[in-house]
Amino acid sequence: MDIIRNDDGTLVVPIAPERHHDAETEGGTDAPVADAADGGETEPATRVLHPGEGGYDEALTAWDLQQNPDRQPAVSTATGRQQAMAVVHAVATSEDHDVAGAVDELDDAEASGEALRHVLVGGVHSVEDFAAEVASTEGDEPLPAHEATKIIGEVLAELDA
């Protein structure tokens, strides 16, 4: 099952079925518990993750990779990072949260996307550092990490559209 990104930034992620150890079998087995009413098959369970929740950054990174599984590892360049900071700031301060308009203003959308992917791969501390760097560059207060992560996801979704 794929990760689904909703318009509000939440992610619907699959949860692995619970595994139980069967002590009666020689050596035991770890097998998913099956629902007998469904003939032994169970629907994969899901969970909705909101920006800022534990595991959200990792799930967003996995969702982004799922969009283009053949993509090479993200590499951030200085100009890509500068543009990434500018686009995140533009969306964060936009009265109407105009992601498409901010993305249209990018000189090198690919480099900006790579820089944002690079931030996500670094996890929560990387996002916090990025938000602080954006604030320092733009002269504003840092965005909370969950807001920065949500904006990064929106920008990446727009770039992939």
Q: Give residue-wise pLDDT tens across range 41-77.
A: 566 688 898 887 888 878 888 888 888 788 777 777 8
* Digit-coded pLDDT (tens) for 127-156: 999 999 999 998 889 999 889 999 999 999
- C-alpha closest to that of 8 among 131, 159, 151: 151
DSSP state letter for 144: P
Structure tokens, 150: 């949500």
Are 120 and 72 part of one and the same domain? yes
Q: CA 6, CA 12: separation in Å to the nearest integer? A: 8
> How far is 56 from 39, CA to CA, in rounded Å?
33
Same domain, 82 and 142: yes
Total of domains in the chain: 2
Q: Are both 21 and 77 inside the same structural domain? A: no
Q: Which DSSP letter does residue 1 get?
A: -
- 15 and 77 share a domain? no
Residues 71 and 111 in one domain: yes
Note if the pTM is more than 0.85. Answer: no
Q: Which two tokens stand for residue 13?
A: 């992620």
**Which domain range does residue 9 map to?**
4-51
82 and 17 assigned to the same domain: no
Residue 150 shares a structural domain with residue 103: yes
